[in-house]
Amino acid sequence: MRTLDGVGSTPRSGVGTARWYRPEADLTLPDRPAPESVDVDTELARYESARDAVREALREARDRTAERVGEEEAAVFEAHEGFLDDPTIIEDVEAAIRDGTPAPHAVADRFGEAVAQFEGMEGRMAERADDLRDVRDRLLRALLGADGGEGGQAVTDLAALPDGTVLLAERLTPSDTATLDPDAVAGIATIEGGRTSHAAIIARSLAIPAVVGVGAELDSVADGETVLVDGEAGKVVVDPDEDLRAAAREAGPEAIRDRVETIDGRSVEVATNVGGEAELAPAAERGADGIGLFRTEFLFVDREAPPTEDEQYEAVTAALSAFSDDRVVVRTLDVGGDKPVPYLDLPDEPNPFLGRRGIRLSLDEHADLFETQLRALLRAAATEDGDGLAVMFPLVTRVEEVERAVARVEAVADDLTSEGVDHAVPELGAMVETPAAAFLADALAERLDFLSVGTNDLAQYVMAADRGNDAVADYHDPLHPAVLRALDRTTAAVEGTDAWVGMCGEMAGDPALTELLVGLGFDELSMSAVTVPDVKRRVREVDADAARSLAADALACETRSEVLDVLGLDDRAA
Ligand code: PEP
Ligand code: MG
């Protein structure tokens, strides 16, 4: 038995038989012929038909991902198509072919340069290098015939792996991952990759145990060996003993359908975050008590114009009927920052995270989109399941923003009344994602029905650490005492008022933090569906009084390591 360390990505364990996926082995280029012997027209035609085949394969991958995983994750294939049809890249490849370079070499050269450029960047931009590699390899497979001309499909059929496969790879692309059958694949381990790469996000949505960034040591694992992937601890165990195997084979925790409360009877709602319709049924199956965050921006990506009022109404009513007895919190459009939408023509800003995003856009340059969205939401609130609807505003920093947003809702309600259209005004709330909102939580709660803390952004703004920049990942830390005090400030401001307070940032889905969050006073926790059963289980073990004193101890800490001590946690990635 030997153990390799990596970064846990999907917090699940699985055990199975190792199988390497090495698509690059099939992409060796033939020697370069002399330029004068290259038939330029033939090579140009080959390049064009390879692009057609890859485009078709990408669209298939997009549709499959949208169906199996969700629109949010499927949107990445639009980016792939963007690289495939990037006019500068096409121009450069065609120019190289005209100079006597065969199509495969021209593609490998030009994409090689682009990959190197992205690899030199930080954070999420560096992760785009994976997407470029994916497009390059698909083109090369189509050109070199390694796929039998099928549009750049992988040589190993990832969709048809035998049951109990643990897939090992240098890296997986998002399309590779979306192809996997979650019932057949017991786990994934990769040499490279980070927790926030698109491939890791897709694996998490499919609930496939995954450990990424294991490093070159993973090469020492041979095909056919028995391997355990522990996505919780970030470990890959080769030839695990029987006890470990038995523990890993245990099915993930069973869904708890009922609502849960602490030992001493405090109820805590455990809801889920969704980005689109495909995620509704799996979330309900995992026992989510409702939707704590519907990220509507994913209705806006992956298309050429904004969704119509009716399309938005359909999406929201689908969520309401999937959770007909529960609350469904829909967040109004939150674009900007790291969520660009090409057709919205967002300003090019030096610091987009400190620029025009969230409610700022909705109250100003995107007032028209805001109005359309509010019309759809107010109509949805009047449907059979509509009384569960709640609407929240993103990236609030000023009381006036809330007042203006509420006034917009009232104005839209008046318009609908004068048009004779059925509607109702849902519960209204704001996200607490900025220090300003945490400091003003009392004033916000006075004007609204609820607040929901987005720790992904809150940690970034409290700690001055870009959430997508690996170089400051350890600063982007929700367990830093300053962030904990911002959480406390928020929950304390809501206590004793009629408003409720939830959390929908990633922190909410970590069962090791459930006691702390209950102790801080959160009424609702919302997370990716995969961790809903664990968090529900954990809530049932918590004693609310003990949790409060644990939270008080954590709030008295001055450093992260003191907080970890109080929580009894080993050091862990921020
Ligand atoms: C957050 O900021 O924590 C949040 C939930 O919103 P998003 O991740 O969509 O920015
Ligand atoms: Mg946010």
Instruction: Say if residue 187 is in the same domain as residue 295.
Output: no
Final residue in a domain of this structure, among 249, 283, 314 = 249
Give the CATH number of the domain where residue 422 resides.
Answer: 3.20.20.60
- 225 and 289, same domain (yes or no): no
- 245 has binding-site annotation: no
pLDDT of residue 335: 86
Give CA–CA dist 185/136, Å, rounded. Answer: 26
CA of 456 to the centre of ligand 1 (A): 5
Query: Residue 355 C-alpha to ligand 2 middle, in angstroms?
Result: 13
Indicate if the alpha-carbon torsion angle 528, 531, 532, 535 is positive or negative.
negative
C-alpha 455 – ligand 1 centre gap (Å): 7
Instruction: Using the atom order of ligand 1, give the atom closest to the CA of residue 455.
Output: 3
**Structural domain containing residue 165:** 158-249
Considering the domain architecture, whether residues 388 and 438 belong to the same structural domain is answered as: yes
- Structural domain includes residue 258: no
Strand order in the sheet with 185-190: 2-5, 235-238, 226-230, 13-21, 165-169, 185-190, 210-212, 7-10
Residue minimizing CA distance to atom 1 of ligand 1: 454
**Pocket-testing residue among 329, 457, 467, 510, ligand 1, by greatest number of atoms within 8 A of Cβ:** 457
Ligand 1 atom 9, closest CA: 295
457 labelled ligand-binding: yes
Question: In terms of domains, do 445 and 532 share one?
Answer: yes
Question: Quick one: which of 140, 40, 47 has its CA closest to 85?
Answer: 47
Closest ligand 1 atom to 433 CA: 2
Domain termination site, one of 144, 173, 192: 144
What CATH number did the domain enclosing 79 receive? 1.10.274.10
- Residues contacting ligand 1 via CB (< 6 Å): 293, 295, 334, 433, 454-457, 504-505
Q: Find out whether 192 and 204 touch, Cβ atoms under 8 Å.
A: no
The letter for the amino acid at 426 is P
Do the domain assignments include residue 47?
Answer: yes
SS3 track for 1-49: CEEEECEEEECCEEEEEEEEECHHHHCCCCCCCCHHHCCHHHHHHHHHH
CA of 221 to the centre of ligand 1 (A): 37
Answer yes or no: are the C-beta atoms of 560 and 477 closer than 8 Å: yes
Is the same domain home to 113 and 167? no
Phi then psi for residue 248, to 5 deg, are -70, -30
Q: What is the pLDDT along the chain (574 residues), one digit of tens a residue?
A: 899 999 888 888 999 999 999 877 667 788 899 999 999 999 999 999 999 999 998 888 888 777 777 777 778 888 888 899 999 999 999 999 999 999 999 999 999 888 888 877 765 666 678 788 889 988 988 888 754 444 444 457 788 899 999 999 998 887 788 888 888 999 999 998 777 566 777 788 788 999 998 999 999 999 999 999 999 889 999 999 998 888 877 767 789 999 999 999 999 999 999 888 877 888 898 899 999 999 998 888 767 899 999 999 999 999 999 999 999 999 999 988 766 677 888 888 889 899 999 999 999 999 999 999 999 999 999 999 999 999 999 999 999 999 999 999 999 999 999 999 999 999 999 999 999 999 999 999 999 999 999 999 999 999 999 887 778 888 999 999 999 999 999 999 999 999 999 999 989 999 999 999 999 999 999 998 888 999 999 999 999 999 999 999 999 999 999 999 999 998 665 5
The answer to whether residue 13 sits within a structural domain is: no
The answer to whether residue 198 is catalytic is yes
Give the per-residue pLDDT at 485.
98
Cα gap 477→472, rounded to integer Å: 10
3-state secondary structure at position 335? coil
Instruction: Output the pTM of the full model.
Output: 0.71
Let me know if residue 255 belongs to a domain: no
Domain shared by 389 and 454, yes or no: yes
Catalytic (active site) residue 504: yes
In the set 105, 480, 504, 557, the catalytic residue is 504
Question: Is 24 assigned a ligand-binding role in the annotation?
Answer: no
Are both 450 and 543 inside the same structural domain? yes
Do 402 and 471 belong to one domain? Answer: yes
Angle between helices 103-119 and 87-98 (to 10 degrees): 140
Whether residues 294 and 403 fall in one domain: yes
Domain count, the chain: 3
Q: State the SS3 of 342-358.
A: HHHCCCCCCCHHHCCCC
Residue 384 lies in a domain: yes
**Domain assignment of residue 128, yes or no:** yes
User: What string of H, E and C letters represents the secondary structure of 36-95?
Assistant: HHCCHHHHHHHHHHHHHHHHHHHHHHHHHHHHHCCHHHHCHHHHHHHHHCCHHHHHHHHH
132 and 238 in one domain? Answer: no
Testing ligand 1's pocket by substitution, the residue of 295, 360, 361 carrying the most ligand atoms inside 8 A of its CB is 295
Does 72 share its domain with 165?
Answer: no
**Please, what is the Cα angle at 567 between 565 and 569, to 5 degrees?**
70
433 is in an annotated binding site: yes
- Chain Cα centroid distance, residue 47: 34
Task: Look at residue 176 in the predicted model and tell me its pLDDT.
Answer: 82
